[in-house]
Amino acid sequence: MCEYTIALVGNPNVGKSTVFNALTGADQHVGNWPGKTVERRTGLLRLSAAASGPHVAALLPAVTLVDLPGAYSLSAYSLEEEIARSFIVEEHPHLVIDVIDASNLERNLYLTAQLLETGAPLIIVLNMQDQAEGRGVLVDAARLSQRLGGTPVVSLVARRGEGIETLRKLIAVTVTQHAGGDSGMRVTTLAPRPQQIIIPYPAEIEGALAQVEAAILQSPTLAAVFNPRWLAIQLLEGDETLRCKVAGAPGGASILAALAASRTQLTAAYGEEIDVALVNCRYEYVHQLVLDVVEQTHRRRISKSDRLDRVVTHPVLGIPIFLALMWVVFKVTIDVSAPLLDWISLVVTGPIANWTVAVLSLLGLGETWFASLAVEGVIAGVGSVLAFVPVMLALYLVLAMLEDCGYMARAAMVMDRLMRKVGLQGKSFLPMVVGFGCSVPAIYATRTLDNQRDRILTGLLAPFMSCSARLPVYVLFAAIFFPQHASLAIFAMYLLGIVVAVAVGLALSHTLFKQQDESCFIMELPPYRLPVARNVWRQMWGRTSAFIRNAWTIILTVSVVLWFLLATPARGGEGAFADVPVEESLFGVASAMIAPIFTPAGFGSWQATGALLSGFVAKEVVIATLTQVYHVAEPTEVAAPPPTFIEDVQLIVTSFVQAISDTLKSIPLVIGVNLFDAGAEPAPTPLMNAIRNDFAVTSGGHGALAGLAFMIFVLLYTPCMTAVAAERHELGTKWMWVSVIGQFAVAWLIASLVFQVGRLLM
């Protein structure tokens, strides 16, 4: 009675380990493959009398089952595949059990085809039949066995233990055949011996294989170890490991000479791609096999996800759907966040300012320049930006939901078509989509592109995508000048950013950046799914907290610097420090010198110019600057005593409850249902009134048009200093200046054009 070895082989995740456990039970040993860090599992297979029949039980040898690492092929591309191949073709197990996932038959049968080529005795285990049937795929096991020349095929559902006993019996029969025969028989004749399966290759390849095979047969050492045809195929495929083994074996030189001659003959027909031809034949063989043995009980189902994709990524409908969704995003963002935005403004300008003044008074600092810095600089500046936290939260919430459900990947696909029209390679959509969040990572993301031309062109266009830091400016100006259509006005800004990027891209790709490379690529779209609350929260809070951090760092610093510039008289004798009219301050005078540049755009006041100047640092600073330069205070009752601490707390609580109630009432606004009382529009703040009046003056009565031009300018000029630094880092100093000056020119041109044309039409 001899030792009997069976190898269990299969693709990863086909239930191989479940089959192994079911066959061996607790008789397992776990170690490593010699010299490798890959786990080696072996087990003792008990072929009971029940399985094999009492009359043969006594003849059964001890059977060791070896669980080989998961492998997709025997081409030894990975360590796992190398181990599996070496064991099968060099260790010669008495039997190989190939576990196949019936629900992924075509991929699994590729390995089977290679196993057949090795000539190893084989049993095929068709696992996961239940899953395959669930997909309407019926695999005809008998037909498969017949097509594979009588190779036994066992159907089972390993996780439920169904079919395991049948497999055990089949193994017992196979082993019994061996045990009952001559113990000196060669192992390859022991197992169920199917008729030889030859995967057909084209005639010229068959000719070459025959030459190499003949040479291998001349080497007894190699012919004893390897199946000559299999070895010939592998050598023609260009397997370097086997080539080295052959080179070191007796008679190896003549085999390699035959191989070289064969390859030379084939080069005329296949060039350097003989391996592609061989692999292709194998795939063709497997494909035909699948067509022959699989019955589709119902037409191959197209998943809901795929059906939805046909609409969402449609060449014509894709972009309108993307725009419609973006419009909903801004509608939700603006309508739902407005009550909480007003609440934070009220708290910052009311109770927090009051408490700061009270504390400073207690410290003896009331009525000093320091109190002015704290209230008019820090609290007004930072507070005016922090008021937009609910807006950012709402925006990031909706975007995170779209991202997590899988839509943003589709949006990227839709954007790709637009990118091609602009003359960019398809992958440029990545930085552009990221640019909707922040221009800085968008510019850094250009390094993922393949060539310098596309990197620079994309880096120049990405800042035109409206980053989220610009949103507070749009929200404020839309509320001032387009209160009835605020969402539409903001949506129009995002749309305009895309249109300008496309137009500039077209212009550049036909002038400075010609010679576009065609790029074709495959995308793996994730299936749609319901957004996961944890992911949505992480995205939303991560981005909002970045906005808040900016408020406490960049905006705080700029607000303090700005206050000093506003507090310092430009000329001697025109007021003292912290007691100078703002228009006479250093900042006021410097801004006034530049302001005429913006007169053609309708907002040539020093205040608007100053806000744009500081906006170079970061777009959030525009609001902080406007708050300081207009230097407005909430109207207070004459002679009214300052509110007490308790009254302030009451105000915070009651206004918060009201804000939450209004937020809930705002949700139906998204679908056009207004639950608010007619005429219950919130009164404009003093800052809004000041901006409206100022823009009306500078534009000659076309305030709304000037407001629109201002929004456009904010959209199109340099996003922030950090983005400029990113451009210098990624594109170089020259292109950084091209970007800064170019964006300023484009912004000024379009803003002026909109204002001037609009004025003519109105």
Partner 1 sequence: MLWRVLREVEAAQGPLDLNELSRRLGVERSALDGMILFWVRKGRLVDDSGAGRATVACANHGCGGCASGQGCPFTMTMPRTLSLIQLDLDERTSSQARAS
Residues numbered 80 to 119 that lie near partner 1 (CB under 8 A) are: 104-107, 110
d(CA 49, CA 394): 70
> Could you tell me the smallest distance in angstroms from the CB atom of residue 26 to partner 1?
33
| Nearer of residues 354 and 446 to partner 1, judged by Cβ | 446
Backbone angles phi, psi at 123, to 5 degrees: -125, 135
Residues within window 437-466 making contact with partner 1, judged by CB under 8 A: 437-438, 440-442, 444-445, 447-448, 450
| Nearer of residues 204 and 583 to partner 1, judged by Cβ | 204
Which of 94, 543, 619, 702 touches partner 1 (CB under 8 A)? 543
CA nearest neighbour of 465 among 488, 446, 445, 442? 442
Q: Residues touching partner 1: how many (CB under 8 A)?
A: 75
Residues within window 219-278 making contact with partner 1, judged by CB under 8 A: 269-271, 273, 275-277
Which of 258, 286, 498, 691 touches partner 1 (CB under 8 A)? 286
SS3 sequence of 231-264: HHHHHHHCCHHHHHHHHHCCCHHHHHHHHHHHHH
d(CA 647, CA 595): 43
> Could you tell me the smallest distance in angstroms from the CB atom of residue 430 to partner 1?
6
Verify binding: residue 412, partner 1, rule CB under 8 A: yes
Which of 32, 296, 452, 553 touches partner 1 (CB under 8 A)? 553
| Nearer of residues 67 and 309 to partner 1, judged by Cβ | 309
| Nearer of residues 66 and 443 to partner 1, judged by Cβ | 443
| Nearer of residues 339 and 459 to partner 1, judged by Cβ | 459
Rg (CA), the chain: 38
Q: Measured between alpha carbons, how far is residue 450 from residues 479, 589, 725 in Å?
A: 43, 48, 22
CA nearest neighbour of 691 among 750, 742, 749, 632? 632
Verify binding: residue 520, partner 1, rule CB under 8 A: yes
For residues 340, 342, 344, 348, the Cα torsion angle rounded to the nearest 10 degrees is 180
Near partner 1 by CB under 8 A, which window of 432-440, 485-493, 585-593, 646-654? 432-440
| Nearer of residues 445 and 705 to partner 1, judged by Cβ | 445
d(CA 137, CA 144): 14
Near partner 1 by CB under 8 A, which window of 165-173, 382-390, 544-552, 577-585? 544-552
Verify binding: residue 304, partner 1, rule CB under 8 A: no
Residues within window 64-83 making contact with partner 1, judged by CB under 8 A: 72-73, 77
Residues within window 476-505 making contact with partner 1, judged by CB under 8 A: none
CB 262 within 8 A of CB 211: yes
> Could you tell me the smallest distance in angstroms from the CB atom of residue 641 to partner 1?
43
CA nearest neighbour of 711 among 649, 619, 625? 619
SS3 sequence of 158-204: HHHCECHHHHHHHHHHHHHHHHHCCCCCCHHHCCCCCCCCCCCCCHH
> Could you tell me the smallest distance in angstroms from the CB atom of residue 54 to partner 1?
43
Task: Give the list of residues 6+ apart from residue 280 with CB closer than 8 angstroms, or none.
Answer: none
| Nearer of residues 164 and 400 to partner 1, judged by Cβ | 400
Verify binding: residue 532, partner 1, rule CB under 8 A: no
Verify binding: residue 510, partner 1, rule CB under 8 A: no
Verify binding: residue 431, partner 1, rule CB under 8 A: yes
| Nearer of residues 19 and 286 to partner 1, judged by Cβ | 286
Q: Concatenate the DSSP letters of all residues of 705-719 into one string.
A: HHHHHHHHHHHHS--
Verify binding: residue 516, partner 1, rule CB under 8 A: no
| Nearer of residues 295 and 634 to partner 1, judged by Cβ | 295
Residues within window 718-757 making contact with partner 1, judged by CB under 8 A: 720, 722, 725-726, 729
> Could you tell me the smallest distance in angstroms from the CB atom of residue 105 to partner 1?
7
The site map against partner 1 for 312-331 (x = CB under 8 A) is -x------------------
CB 709 within 8 A of CB 753: no
> Could you tell me the smallest distance in angstroms from the CB atom of residue 129 to partner 1?
16
d(CA 327, CA 485): 12
d(CA 396, CA 633): 31
d(CA 617, CA 561): 12
| Nearer of residues 32 and 553 to partner 1, judged by Cβ | 553
The site map against partner 1 for 167-196 (x = CB under 8 A) is ------------------------------
CB 623 within 8 A of CB 391: no
Near partner 1 by CB under 8 A, which window of 15-23, 374-382, 538-546, 622-630? 538-546
d(CA 141, CA 132): 13
